[in-house]
């Protein structure tokens, strides 16, 4: 409680001083649409074209949006929350899923989901701690080892028996990574092939549903599955479309993609997975996600992390 109030107060004071700054600069925040756009630019700072102007706009605009967010968004007091009450939101993920989560240059997990959760955490006054773990252990760890999971996790009925999901935040389909010279072009062509998947994923389920499929090799990390494909140990990998593209960019000459539509795979949706017994945390996360979509921050993160992803 104390901590939260003082954080809000501090944010308010910063907003006032930043607003003052903005007024004296040459780029006043004229209206909230401009402010929103500038904040989106600030979030995706690297994508901004004119750095000087953007910097001035950003200072003014950040203040306006902070003030707006305080006024419009309901504030959530999570101080008594069973999971977030300690001020720390522990987020589980498996960092072999670029650009949603992967191990960055500094050896730490990074990517879209990390950035999204850090933004949600900061808006809720929570410190986000990332726990990189095996994908097939994540659902079972929610509510004990970790508080929530943000890991490109598809919302499925089966998982919903164990956890709650936030509102969907990204659409996906499974697609198939193949050697560049493969003749496979349809689901039927996967018959008899050795297919690599990540254990516990919807890609594994899709593979199990392919009639006549050869061997399904379930491994702990997508990096491994793709490496096995590049090295000829398997014939294909079933993996979500956006990560498929990210891996393709690492091996552009060796691999190709047949997309999920061509393969006849269903559309999936990603959600943040949360403990079943915590509706309040769910509300807080959903409202924050919505506010981020409304003010352009969400799209800026998509632009920065997904549309502009470059393999390292």
Residue ranges that bind ligand ARG, judged by CB under 6 A: 93-94, 96-97, 101, 135, 151-154, 172, 198, 201-202, 222, 240
Q: Say which residues have a Cβ less than 8 Å from residue 180's Cβ, sequence separation at least 6.
A: 253, 254, 255, 256
Which C-beta is closer to ligand ARG: that of 135 or that of 247?
135
Dist CA 33 CA 64 (whole Å): 10
Which C-beta is closer to ligand ARG: that of 94 or that of 304?
94
**CA angle at residue 265 from 261 to 267, to 5 degrees?**
85
**In whole angstroms, how close is the CB of 144 to ligand ARG at the nearest point?**
19
**In whole angstroms, how close is the CB of 48 to ligand ARG at the nearest point?**
29
Sign of the torsion formed by the C-alpha atoms of 207, 211, 213 and 217: positive
Which C-beta is closer to ligand ARG: that of 81 or that of 101?
101
**Helix, strand or coil for residue 43?**
helix
**In whole angstroms, how close is the CB of 243 to ligand ARG at the nearest point?**
8
Q: Say which residues have a Cβ less than 8 Å from residue 52's Cβ, sequence separation at least 6.
A: none
**In whole angstroms, how close is the CB of 273 to ligand ARG at the nearest point?**
9
Dist CA 122 CA 303 (whole Å): 20
DSSP-assigned letter for residue 266: P
**In whole angstroms, how close is the CB of 23 to ligand ARG at the nearest point?**
44
**In whole angstroms, how close is the CB of 214 to ligand ARG at the nearest point?**
21
Dist CA 125 CA 17 (whole Å): 20
DSSP string, 201-249: SHHHHHHHTSTTB--EEEES-HHHHHHHHHTTSSSEEEEEHHHHHHHHH
Of 160, 119, 178, nearest to 304 (Cα)? 119
Which C-beta is closer to ligand ARG: that of 54 or that of 146?
146
| Residue 122 vs residues 250, 263, 301: alpha-carbon distances, Å | 32, 40, 15
Q: Are 41 and 58 in contact (CB under 8 A)?
A: yes
**In whole angstroms, how close is the CB of 174 to ligand ARG at the nearest point?**
8
Q: 199: cis peptide before it, omega within 30°?
A: no
Which C-beta is closer to ligand ARG: that of 83 or that of 270?
270
Which C-beta is closer to ligand ARG: that of 123 or that of 159?
159
Which C-beta is closer to ligand ARG: that of 54 or that of 91?
91
Which C-beta is closer to ligand ARG: that of 79 or that of 269?
269
**In whole angstroms, how close is the CB of 250 to ligand ARG at the nearest point?**
16
């Amino acid at each position: 409680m104390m901590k939260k109030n003082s954080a809000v107060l501090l944010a308010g004071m910063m907003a006032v001083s930043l607003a003052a700054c903005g007024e004296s600069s040459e780029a006043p925040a004229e209206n909230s649409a401009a402010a929103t756009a500038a904040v989106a630019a600030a979030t995706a700072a690297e994508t901004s074209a004119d750095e000087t102007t953007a910097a001035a706009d950003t200072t003014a605009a950040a203040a306006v949006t902070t003030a707006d967010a305080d006024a419009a968004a309901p504030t959530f007091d999570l101080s008594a929350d069973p999971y977030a009450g300690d001020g720390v939101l522990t987020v589980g993920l498996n960092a072999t899923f670029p650009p949603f989560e992967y191990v960055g240059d500094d050896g730490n997990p990074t990517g879209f989901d990390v950035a999204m959760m850090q933004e949600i955490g900061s808006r809720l006054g929570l410190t986000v701690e990332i726990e990189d773990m095996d994908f097939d252990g994540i659902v079972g760890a929610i509510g004990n080892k970790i508080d929530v999971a943000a890991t490109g996790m598809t919302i499925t009925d089966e998982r919903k028996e164990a956890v709650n999901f936030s509102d969907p935040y990204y659409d996906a389909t499974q697609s198939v990574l193949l050697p560049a010279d493969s003749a496979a072009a349809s689901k039927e062509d996967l018959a008899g092939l050795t297919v690599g998947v990540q254990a516990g994923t919807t890609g594994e389920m899709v593979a199990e549903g392919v009639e006549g499929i050869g061997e399904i090799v379930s491994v702990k990390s997508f990096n491994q599955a793709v490496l096995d494909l590049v090295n000829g140990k398997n014939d294909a990998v079933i993996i979500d479309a956006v990560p498929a593209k990210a891996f393709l960019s690492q091996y552009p000459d060796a691999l190709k993609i047949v997309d999920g539509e061509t393969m006849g795979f269903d559309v999936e949706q990603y959600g943040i997975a949360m403990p079943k017994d915590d509706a309040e945390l769910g509300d807080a996360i959903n409202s924050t996600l919505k506010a981020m979509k409304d003010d352009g921050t969400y799209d800026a993160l998509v632009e920065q992390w997904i549309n502009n992803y470059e393999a390292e």
